[in-house]
């Protein structure tokens, strides 16, 4: 009930009661109550006084509840805004979130959202909330590799969205490998390793080795392919190559991949000596050594080494050896087609 209507109704009631009592009894009365002397007033007046006090008490009662209701409503509104921020952060992949919700209606949902990532369907374009709609548009644009204004979202470089956007910028040429590698703390491991894979194709050997902590198997093979290459070629002795290879943990298949990569430009003599040295230091490198020997048609040397191995070792190379002995001539590379794709 609106206060104005309640007040008008109460006044009408008090007037009617007072008039009715006065029309019946026009006498006046005075009395003492709790040591207080009340002056002489018509009885109708003293009948209306409790009604007036009841009206004031009820208004005060309503005012208290309205005030409490307003506080609850304001708390709900604040929690609603926090929830919109929490949902936006969950969409954007923000890692550190700790929103404190005051109302019971949002506490459970808030705890869940704070510890979740939301991955909306691509068909969801907007929901009618500005903050959420901006986040949805950003997700869509980054996925489509569009140029976006991401700074206003104040995202950490460690978020997947920021990483993807920096990868997009790198692919568009907005940032160079030098820019990325010189600011590792800004771009992080994923973007730096992507930049390094491009960097090893053309940078000087000293520059490449400066960031060798970012070395991966693929970037190692790409870099070593440049040995004796006509374009962006480099020179490295076997000791330096071995030292570089040891920074990574290669499997026997990786050593075969390495031999395939080096076969493009490295001189056969250096390549044989390299894998011979590595096989003496690491058993896994023996696969790469066998591949190198057969690839360079060092058949007798490879067969002699195979004859000194256990029956169940190096089965692929023994199968190739047997084919050669049966006058079946195949390129050793077809046995490792996975590496050549």
Q: pLDDT truncated to tens, each residue of the chain (341 aa)? A: 577 887 888 888 888 877 887 788 777 767 666 767 667 767 777 777 788 788 788 888 777 777 777 777 788 788 889 899 999 999 998 888 888 888 888 888 888 888 888 889 888 988 999 999 999 999 999 999 999 989 888 898 889 999 999 999 999 999 999 999 999 989 999 999 999 999 999 999 999 999 999 999 999 999 999 999 999 999 999 999 999 999 999 999 999 999 999 999 999 999 999 999 999 999 999 999 999 999 999 999 999 999 989 988 999 999 999 998 888 888 898 888 654 44
Q: Which two three-digit tokens encode residue 218?
A: 């693929």
Burial 133-143 (b: 16+ CB within 10 A, else e): ebbbebbebbe
CA 95 – CA 72 distance, rounded (Å): 30
| Single pTM value for the model | 0.71
The burial class, CB within 10 Å (0-12 / 13-18 / 19+), for 17 is: middle
Q: Are 278 and 245 in contact (CB under 8 A)?
A: yes
CA 260 – CA 317 distance, rounded (Å): 15
pLDDT of residue 329: 83
pLDDT of residue 339: 44
DSSP string, 36-83: EEEEEEEHHHHHHHHHHHHHHHHHHHHHHHHHHHHHHHHHHHHHHHHH
Instruction: Find the angle CA(230)-CA(236)-CA(241) to the nearest 5 degrees.
Output: 125
Helix (H) or strand (E) holding 102: none
What residues does 234 pair with on adjacent strands? 227
Q: Are 227 and 236 in contact (CB under 8 A)?
A: yes
Q: What Å distances lie between residue 187 and 29, 143, 181, 205, CA to CA? A: 91, 18, 8, 23
3-class DSSP assignment, residue 107: helix
3-class DSSP assignment, residue 95: coil
pLDDT of residue 210: 93
Q: What Å distances lie between residue 224 and 70, 117, 290, 337, CA to CA? A: 71, 41, 19, 20
pLDDT of residue 338: 57
Q: Are 93 and 160 in contact (CB under 8 A)?
A: yes
pLDDT of residue 56: 83
- The domain ranges of the chain are 3-87, 226-341
Q: Are 255 and 288 in contact (CB under 8 A)?
A: yes
């Amino acid at each position: 009930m609106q206060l104005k209507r309640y007040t008008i109704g109460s006044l009408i009631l008090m007037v009617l009661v007072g008039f009715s009592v006065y029309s019946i009894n026009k006498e006046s009365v005075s009395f003492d109550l709790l040591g207080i002397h009340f002056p002489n007033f018509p009885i109708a007046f003293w009948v209306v006084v409790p009604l007036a006090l009841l009206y004031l008490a009820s208004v005060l009662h309503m005012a208290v509840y309205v005030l409490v209701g307003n506080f609850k409503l304001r708390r709900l509104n604040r929690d609603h805004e926090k929830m919109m921020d929490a949902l936006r952060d969950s969409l954007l992949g923000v890692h550190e979130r700790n929103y404190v919700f005051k109302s019971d209606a949002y506490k459970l949902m808030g705890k869940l959202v704070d510890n979740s990532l939301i991955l909306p369907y691509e068909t969801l374009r907007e929901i009618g909330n500005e903050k959420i709609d901006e986040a949805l548009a950003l997700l869509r644009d980054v996925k489509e590799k569009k140029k976006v204004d991401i700074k206003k979202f104040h995202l950490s470089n460690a978020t997947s969205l920021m990483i993807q956007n920096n990868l997009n910028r790198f692919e568009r040429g907005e940032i160079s490998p030098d820019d990325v590698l010189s600011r590792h703390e800004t771009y992080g491991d994923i973007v730096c390793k992507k930049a390094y894979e491009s960097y090893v194709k053309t940078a000087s050997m000293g520059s490449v080795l400066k960031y060798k902590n970012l070395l991966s198997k693929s970037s190692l093979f790409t870099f070593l392919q440049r040995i004796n290459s006509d374009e962006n070629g480099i020179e490295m002795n076997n000791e330096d190559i071995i030292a570089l290879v040891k920074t990574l943990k290669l499997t026997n298949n990786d050593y075969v991949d390495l031999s395939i990569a080096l076969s493009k430009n490295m001189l056969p003599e250096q390549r044989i000596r390299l894998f011979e040295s590595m096989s003496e230091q690491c058993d896994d490198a023996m696969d790469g050594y066998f591949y190198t020997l057969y690839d360079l048609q060092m058949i007798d040397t490879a067969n002699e080494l195979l004859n000194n191995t256990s029956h169940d070792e190096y089965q692929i190379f023994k199968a190739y050896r047997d084919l050669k002995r049966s006058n079946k001539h195949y390129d050793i590379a077809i046995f490792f087609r996975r590496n050549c794709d």
